Amino acid sequence: MCPSDDRAAPPASAELPAGGRHDLRRDRSPDAPETDSFGEGAFGYIHSYETGSRLDGPGVRVTIFVSGCPLRCLYCHNPDTWHLKDGTRVPLERVVSRLKDFAPALRAMQGGLTISGGEPLVQVPFTQGIFVAAKSMGLHTALDTCGLLGERASDAYLESVDLVLLDIKSWDPATYRRVTGQEVAPTLRFAERLAAMNKPVWVRFVLVPGLTDDPANVEGVATFVAPMPNVEWVEVLPFHQLGAFKWKELGLDYQLADTPPASPDLVARVLSQFRDAGCQVR
């Protein structure tokens, strides 16, 4: 193996990048492919992980943020997860071994493991390997996904997932396209598939003033998910500016620099729209 190949191959003991979702990561793995379908299972690319999260599923959780995402949400607060190359290449066995350290505490606190991103379905074999290992440890598992790549999650994949946190970023196709750069239909099809298999789902809707807050747009999401008995919660996430610095650091064009946070009145209106449609909201 030539010296340049040695440099391209990271040590097998690569550490999991502890930290959090708000830490900026850049060029950790410059030789990673530019792809939205990474087929290796023995290793993968991770942005960071957090312990003690209470935001990403029931109980206290370890949340792993994997790299790679085919969307380009205007409000993304982690644009440093879009490309595999910005994450750290980590062997699956290292992730599993680290998870084992946390498993007793997670079980005791009725928590579990959540894989978020980025988009976890960019790295299907890798994230499936983590979920399967977590289930073998008796952990509750949650997949945080935008649903665009839902067709990639086989029934076997979903058997290792107890809960799907499904981000439905808009109802109106033109708004969805403007917000994400992608089409809404695959996400809606995935939601219907999850409903048909009665897989527990928490729907997440990011409320951005002037972008996703149109009453008809909210109403569309609400009336779509309200009849689904597998949807346990709808979580309305008010837009914030915490990720703005990353757009600047990465030299990206951040179009929401002047967008204010959602006001309490706006949040209340949107929550009542979901509630009036018959959804459990928070």
Name the 3-class secondary structure at 169: coil
d(CA 34, CA 56): 28
> CA–CA separation, 237 vs 234, rounded Å?
10
Among 36, 119, 162, 213, indicate the residue that binds ligand SF4 (CB under 6 A).
Answer: 119
Q: Among residues 137, 131, 127, 45, which one has the least CA distance to residue 85?
A: 45
Backbone angles phi and psi of 53, in degrees to 5: -70, 140
Residue among 32, 76, 84, 168 that touches ligand SF4 (CB under 6 A): 76
Q: Which is nearer to ligand SF4, 64 or 69 (CB)?
A: 69
Bridge-partner residues for 231, per DSSP? 201
**Residue 74 CB, nearest distance to ligand SF4 (Å)?**
9
User: In the range 36-75, which residues lie near ligand SF4 by CB under 6 A?
Assistant: 69, 71-73
* Closest to ligand SF4 by CB, 29 or 81: 81
d(C-alpha 241, C-alpha 171), whole Å? 23
| Between 144 and 162, CB nearer to ligand SF4 | 144
Q: Is 210 strand, coil or helix?
A: coil
**Given candidates 17, 44, 58, 118, which one binds ligand SF4 under the rule CB under 6 A?**
118
The residue with tokens 């942005």 is: 47
Query: Counting every residue, how long is the chain?
Result: 282
d(CA 140, CA 79): 28
Task: Please tell me whether residue 112 binds ligand SF4 under the rule CB under 6 A.
Answer: no
281: contact with ligand SF4 by CB under 6 A? no
Choose one: 20-28, 97-105, 111-119, 210-218; the region binding ligand SF4 (CB under 6 A).
111-119
| Nearest distance from C-beta of residue 68 to ligand SF4, angstroms | 9
Q: Select 149 or 234, whichever has its Cβ closest to ligand SF4.
A: 149
Toward ligand SF4, which CB reaches closer, 21 or 89? 21
Q: Which stretch in 4-12, 76-84, 247-255, 268-276 sits in contact with ligand SF4 by CB under 6 A? A: 76-84
Phi then psi for residue 223, to 5 deg, are -75, -20
- Sheet containing 231-238, strands listed edge to edge, beginning at the edge strand earlier in sequence: 88-91, 43-53, 61-66, 112-116, 140-145, 163-167, 201-207, 231-238
Choice from 117, 129, 150, 220 touching ligand SF4 (CB under 6 A): 117
**Where do contacts with ligand SF4 occur on this chain (CB under 6 A)?**
69, 71-73, 76, 78, 81, 117-119, 146
